[in-house]
Amino acid sequence: MTTLLRNGTLLTASETFAADILIEDEKISLIGRDLRHPNAQVIDATGKLVMPGGIDPHTHFDLPMFGTVSSDDHYTGHKAAAFGGTTTVMDFVVLEQEGFQRSVDVWLEKSAKAAIDYSFHMNLTQFDEKIAREIPSLRAMGITTLKVFTAYNGNLRLDDGSIFKAMQIARDHGMLVMAHCENGDVIETLVTEALKTGYWEPEWHALTRPGWGGVESTLRVAGMASAAGASVYIVHMNQGGEVDMLKYARERGVKAMGETCPQYLFFTIEDLRRPDGAKWICSPPMRTAPDNARLWEGLSEGLLQTIGTDHCPFFFNGTQPIVYEGHEIAIPGKELGKDDFTKIPNGLPGVEDRLPVMWTCGVRAGKITANQFVAYNSTNPARIFGLYPRKGALLPGSDADIVIWDPEKKVKYGVAHSHQRTDYNLYEGWELTGMPEKVFLRGQLIVDGKEWLGKAGMGMFLERAEGVFI
């Protein structure tokens, strides 16, 4: 199908200008003023913004945890993402004992129902000489990123020596190491002490994961990256001290990059102290209002590089079904930890909320510019993770992943508006202004107002090239 978007204002990471876009064969074929085509379907974008589809670099779909599974799978989560203006998501492959190929195959099977385009990062949660030799094989599978953890002792964590060796391998093979930065030893000790003392409430999830552990781990990981001559990407930065450490490292030539998530810009440990505090349980946890403010400074000043979501939703009350696409569904969720904070599944919904919330509370509030909005939510992830200019750009030859954005549309947001498959929303009752009106995936209209035109299986796995440090 040939489509002509006319009279819109194009919004990119660096420019804002009036132009038309011609879409042919899933690609942007031409950008210019007063374009014509004899056979094109014409869509009038007068008064609207036209921007590249969002790219969420940090999501978890169909993820097993604590005897249950995250409530969005690779169809429901993708559908929600599309309604929020996101057309590409990146998920994390769980490393199985059988090795990398089997692990990727399992995730490809899970994602056969994908509704938007997607890619994978590999969780590197085991390390020995055999795994070290096999890491470069991921490049042939289209995966150029490894995620390591400095927390979750006895489960996900690697020792510093293994992380350093992984960085050296990544450096030599055009790959990027992503790091979850907390202090696993401190957490392990404090959790044991809290439970022994009888502290079980949700706030103790945060109190047993002290912020300084994340700050020192961020600097430690940056130091390892410097010694290895490698790039590192710090995921879900949740506090001001981490922004300070990122700034310190980058000013000294370390190739370190940082991601934050919307939840860390708005919520604090006080939300965990609410009667429904389990809704806000994620790792790393919410911190303080000064941390919120410093993270906003990190975005406005360009110290951070991306905004992801760490989307990993669970039901608040999985004993009560909800109706999704006409069918009742209930999945065990956060009620599993009603008497023990260590049993509350860690994760939040957010893949649909990101762009509308960041537009209202970031762009309209004057905390970031509209061009920064596109950079953080689309173009920078595409560049860092080896998808640019196929994704994250409005350029001839780019995939026609396009959002027509109504900057004046007002919505009272919440679970009734959201398409995430769970029973709550973090932004319940928020008054938002600015929403997607139409969303195109490779030139095909998949969201038209409130109407879902996409379908399971139309999403494409994206094999990624080497990304760039920005």
- Domain 54-384 in CATH 3.20.20.140? The answer is yes
* Angstrom distance (rounded) from CA 384 to CA 90: 12
- Please determine, for residue 143, whether its predicted confidence score (pLDDT) is greater than 90: yes
Q: Which tens digit of pLDDT belongs to each residue from 144-198?
A: 999 999 999 999 999 999 999 999 999 999 999 999 999 999 999 999 999 999 9
DSSP bridge partners of 52: 402
- Given a contact cutoff of 8 angstroms between Cβ atoms, the answer to whether 262 and 292 are in contact is no
- Given a contact cutoff of 8 angstroms between Cβ atoms, the answer to whether 23 and 445 are in contact is no
Q: Which tens digit of pLDDT belongs to each residue from 302-347?
A: 999 999 999 999 999 999 999 999 999 999 999 999 999 999 999 9
DSSP string, 27-80: EEEEEESS---TTPEEEE-TT-EEEEPEEEEEE--S-EETTEE-S--TTHHHHH
Shortest CA distance to 464 belongs to which of 135, 123, 30, 141? Answer: 141
Handedness of CA 416, 419, 424, 430 (dihedral sign): negative
Residue 348: exposure state from Cβ atoms within 10 A (0-12, 13-18, ≥19):
buried
Residue 218: exposure state from Cβ atoms within 10 A (0-12, 13-18, ≥19):
buried
E-assigned strand segments in 422-469 = 431-441, 444-448, 451-452
Percent of the chain with pLDDT over 90: 100
Q: Which tens digit of pLDDT belongs to each residue from 92-123?
A: 999 999 999 999 999 999 999 999 999 999 99
Q: Which tens digit of pLDDT belongs to each residue from 264-294?
A: 999 999 999 999 999 999 999 999 999 999 9
Rg, Å, the chain Cα set:
21
Shortest CA distance to 424 belongs to which of 284, 273, 322, 271? Answer: 322
* Angstrom distance (rounded) from CA 365 to CA 361: 5
- Given a contact cutoff of 8 angstroms between Cβ atoms, the answer to whether 318 and 331 are in contact is yes
- Given a contact cutoff of 8 angstroms between Cβ atoms, the answer to whether 204 and 341 are in contact is yes
Q: Is 441 helix (H, G, I), strand (E, B) or coil?
A: strand
pTM score, whole prediction: 0.98
Tell how strand 444-448 and strand 431-441 pair up: antiparallel
The CA-atom distances, in angstroms, between 368 and each of 371, 459, 463 are 8, 31, 31
- Given a contact cutoff of 8 angstroms between Cβ atoms, the answer to whether 81 and 116 are in contact is yes
In degrees and rounded to multiples of 5, residue 451 shows phi and psi of: -95, 130
Question: What does the block give as tokens for 422?
Answer: 């769970």
Shortest CA distance to 328 belongs to which of 242, 263, 423? Answer: 423
Q: Which tens digit of pLDDT belongs to each residue from 402-451?
A: 999 999 999 999 999 999 999 999 999 999 999 999 999 999 999 999 99
- Please determine, for residue 1, whether its predicted confidence score (pLDDT) is greater than 90: no
DSSP bridge partners of 24: 27
Predicted confidence at residue 429, as pLDDT, reads 98
Peptide bond into 284 cis (omega under 30): yes
- Given a contact cutoff of 8 angstroms between Cβ atoms, the answer to whether 199 and 162 are in contact is no
- When pLDDT is cut at 50, 70 and 90, the band that residue 85 belongs to is very high
Shortest CA distance to 258 belongs to which of 240, 283, 279? Answer: 240
* Angstrom distance (rounded) from CA 100 to CA 143: 10
Predicted confidence at residue 369, as pLDDT, reads 98
Question: What does the block give as tokens for 461?
Answer: 């796995």
- When pLDDT is cut at 50, 70 and 90, the band that residue 40 belongs to is very high
